[in-house]
Amino acid sequence: MPPLIFRKGLDLKEAVADRLAADYHSALVDEVKAADYTYRSGRLTVHLAREFGFCYGVDRAVDYAYQARSRFAERRVFLTGEIIHNPHVNDKLRAAGVRFLSDAAERETVLGPDDVVILPAFGVTVGEMGRLADRGCTLVDTTCGSVLNVWKNVARYAQDGFTAVIHGKVHHEETRATASQALKVPDGRYLVVFDKAEAGAVCDVIRRGGGRDAFLARFGHAASEGFDPERDLARIGLANQTTMLMSESLEIGEMFRQAMLERYGESELPLRFRAFDTICSATQERQDAVVALLDRHPLDLMLVVGGYNSSNTCNLANICAARVPTYHIADPDGLVSANGIRHRPVTGDGVPGRTAREATSTGWLPVAGTVRVGLTAGASTPNNIVGQVIERLARFAGAGSPQS
């Protein structure tokens, strides 16, 4: 028997609505949005990006998880890993009794037909999905629609004999799941490139050919098994992890198009190169909104709120850091005092946690005169966290109690 899979909720949306509001809603954020996305108190002015925080896909995933816990109150309910990259949300689910198979305490857990497993917004690999189905678990699939769109393109590439070249982070849950879609087809192939430097190295191989050993030494961990650059880079289709910087994805796509053009000529290009824009619309809206905020308002500093392992949050911080002093904080506790801030230094490499560990800095907040702060949050950050950040800012800026 095929497993029971819930993909459109569990008919308990109204039943969990009050709980979700209690856990994640912020009246203060509602008031700031109504005041032209601006908060003023004493010497402090906070400008909030017009698109920030929970996107539709994240909101839906968290909603389904709450529904699952309510629907299956007497059964074991698991998540394959973090439902989204936000520690506050994941800890709320743990407190509600949802167990995380990625936690050390669950590594030896044996699943069976009586268990319920929630698939996160990032999705899971084809192999993991098969293993869960084989065990007969009831599945609650919260995979984001934007991710599913990428999967369709990658599967189509494989069916048509194209290698999927994925702009993404090779160890990210979404990228691993996306790459596995190519392997559903016999002889399907994929290659993951992280940035323009890696893309440039691959493009050099496309142009000149050869260099198989050097290529595999650098990209073997990011390519499908048995990858042969001479064979598997002859026909390529571009895709993206949905949370990457769109501007970089477009540049990488053009780099590959030009390399294929130089190698094979104009007449061959349609037969050897495909590209589809698979950046999530919510990701792009948040990136556009923070650029608009920076263009519109002179700022003393920018705060970006969200999990340190959140790709879209790290990319928002990268955009801001190019324009103004920027602090990426995981939550309101990162604002330690008017002098101290605990944050992830913005490295510009966009790899959550790879090259920068959390640090504590001093002198982050101007001690006199007006203070103009820009504020945004990643797509996995709930409004209550944003509201708490504003409250702390008001207190530390010497503005007294925040507006009610």
- List the catalytic residue out of 174, 198, 248, 391: 174
Long-range Cβ pairs for the range 179-186 (8 Å, 24+): 179/154, 179/224, 180/125, 180/126, 180/127, 181/126, 181/151, 181/154, 181/155, 182/154, 182/155, 182/157, 182/158, 182/224, 183/126, 183/158, 183/224, 184/126, 184/155, 184/158, 185/155, 185/158, 185/159
User: How far, in Å, CA of 401 to CA of 234, rounded?
Assistant: 63
Closest CA to 110 of 84, 140, 134: 134
Query: Please, where are the H alpha helices in 46-172?
Result: 56-71, 87-95, 126-134, 145-159
Strand 38-41 to 44-48 pairing: antiparallel
Rounded Cα–Cα distance for residues 221 and 359 (Å): 30
Do 26 and 384 contact (CB within 8 A), yes or no?
Answer: yes
Is residue 316 within 8 A of residue 287, CB to CB? The reply is: yes
Q: Is 174 a catalytic residue?
A: yes
DSSP string for residues in 143-183 = --HHHHHHHHHHHHHHHTTPEEEEES-TTSHHHHHHHHHHT
Q: How far apart (Å, rounded) are the C-alpha atoms in residues 308 and 331?
A: 10
Please report the DSSP string for 361-387 in residue order.
EE--S-SSS-EEEEEEE-TT--HHHHH
Say which residue the tokens 């087809």 belong to.
185
Which pair of tokens denotes residue 213? 């050993």
Q: Which two tokens stand for residue 88?
A: 């506050």
As a whole number of angstroms, the distance between CA 215 and CA 205 comes to 8
Positions annotated as catalytic residues are 174
